[in-house]
């Protein structure tokens, strides 16, 4: 089956999904096991019933292409970007507890940190894993990454408790949907439709503060902090990072 192409195949896929939908009560038509052959296809297409709509819809979640991330002076440019400034200069493991499509985790690894990126949504994780595999096959990206980025599927609220010597945690929960604002890039729109809002992000932040001496949380520029009293605030043009220090001691 060809993926990522012409409208007729999308129409066929939609009617097949509708047919299966009549016989199934499951929410997704991609049943979880990721067939190896999908590893060669781009974009990754997942046919899902949208969370926020009762109607069926074709959702396209492309594997991330980190070669499009603009780093004008190479890997060293990553260090001055907000995720790396927010995480500071930890010695040891940096956990990206909300990996999503891995853009921030990529920057952290390129900046020289040892990174473990955790993603709980299985469909998003599949796209992330594919993006990492492609980056490892690209000579320049593989050199920049230096084998420092690992990805794992699971809920960071639990997995963080099982990790030792976490030096810092990066948290970027899904922002609340904006009203009447410019739409985010297509893949972020699909991510939002797949994941919805991360309503348990306070719990995640508490779990992170319990294990790491430094936790950086990405927030919309004017939103209130997820937890009171961050020790530092790093403001960017579009987002803000709230930084929490040593709450576990």
C-alpha closest to that of 3 among 31, 33, 30, 32: 30
Could you give the string, one character per residue 80-99, with x where binding to ligand SAM holds by CB under 6 A and - elsewhere? -----------------xx-
Q: Which is nearer to ligand SAM, 21 or 225 (CB)?
A: 225
- For residue 28, what is the DSSP state? B
Cα–Cα nearest to 231, from 218, 219, 216? 216
Q: Does 163 contact ligand SAM by CB under 6 A?
A: no
167 is a site residue for ligand SAM (CB under 6 A): no
190 binds ligand SAM (CB under 6 A): no
Nearer to ligand SAM, 9 or 148 (CB): 148
Of 129, 136, 208, 218, whose CA–CA distance to 173 is shortest? 218
By CB under 6 A, residue 149 contacts ligand SAM: no
Rounded distance between C-alpha atoms, residue 41 and residue 166, angstroms: 35
Binding ligand SAM (rule: CB under 6 A), the pick from 69, 174, 232, 245 is 174
Q: Are 206 and 227 in contact (CB under 8 A)?
A: yes
Residue 121 or 129 having the CB closest to ligand SAM: 121
Buried b (16+ CB within 10 A) or exposed e, 167-194: bbbbbbbbbeeeeeeeeeeebeebbbbb
Residue placing its CB nearer to ligand SAM in the complex, 101 or 168: 101
CA dihedral 51, 58, 188, 225 (to 10 degrees): 0
Note whether 104 binds ligand SAM by CB under 6 A: yes
Region from 134-142, 178-186, 191-199, 235-243 binding ligand SAM, contact rule CB under 6 A: 191-199
Q: Closest distance between ligand SAM and the C-beta of residue 151, in Å?
A: 11
Q: Which of 17, 121, 126, 167 binds ligand SAM (CB under 6 A)?
A: 121
Share in percent of the chain as helix, strand, coil (round to 5)? 40, 20, 40
* Site for ligand SAM, rule CB under 6 A: 97-98, 100-104, 118-121, 124, 155-157, 172-174, 191, 195, 198, 204
């Amino acid at each position: 089956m060809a993926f990522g192409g012409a409208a007729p195949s999308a129409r066929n896929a939609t009617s097949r999904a509708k047919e299966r939908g009549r016989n199934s009560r499951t929410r997704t038509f991609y049943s979880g096991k990721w067939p190896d052959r999908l590893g060669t296809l781009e974009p990754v297409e997942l046919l899902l019933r949208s969370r926020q709509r009762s109607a069926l819809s074709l959702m396209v979640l492309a594997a991330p292409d980190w070669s499009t991330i603009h780093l004008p002076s190479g890997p060293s440019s990553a260090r001055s970007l907000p995720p790396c400034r927010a995480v500071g200069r930890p010695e040891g493991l940096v956990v990206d507890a909300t990996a999503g499509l891995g853009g921030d985790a990529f920057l952290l690894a390129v900046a020289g940190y040892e990174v473990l990126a955790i993603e709980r949504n299985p469909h998003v994780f599949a796209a992330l894993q594919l993006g990492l595999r492609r980056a490892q096959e690209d000579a320049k990206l593989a050199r920049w990454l230096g084998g420092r980025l690992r990805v794992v599927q699971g809920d960071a609220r639990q997995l963080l408790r099982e990790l030792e010597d976490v030096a810092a945690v990066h948290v970027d929960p899904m922002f609340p949907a904006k009203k009447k604002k410019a739409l985010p890039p297509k893949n972020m729109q699909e991510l939002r439709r797949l994941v919805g809002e991360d309503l348990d992000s306070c719990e995640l932040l508490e779990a992170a503060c319990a294990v790491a001496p430094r936790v950086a949380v990405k927030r919309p520029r004017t939103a209130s902090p997820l937890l009171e009293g961050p020790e530092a605030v790093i403001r960017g043009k579009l987002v803000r990072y709230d930084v929490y220090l040593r709450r576990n001691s």
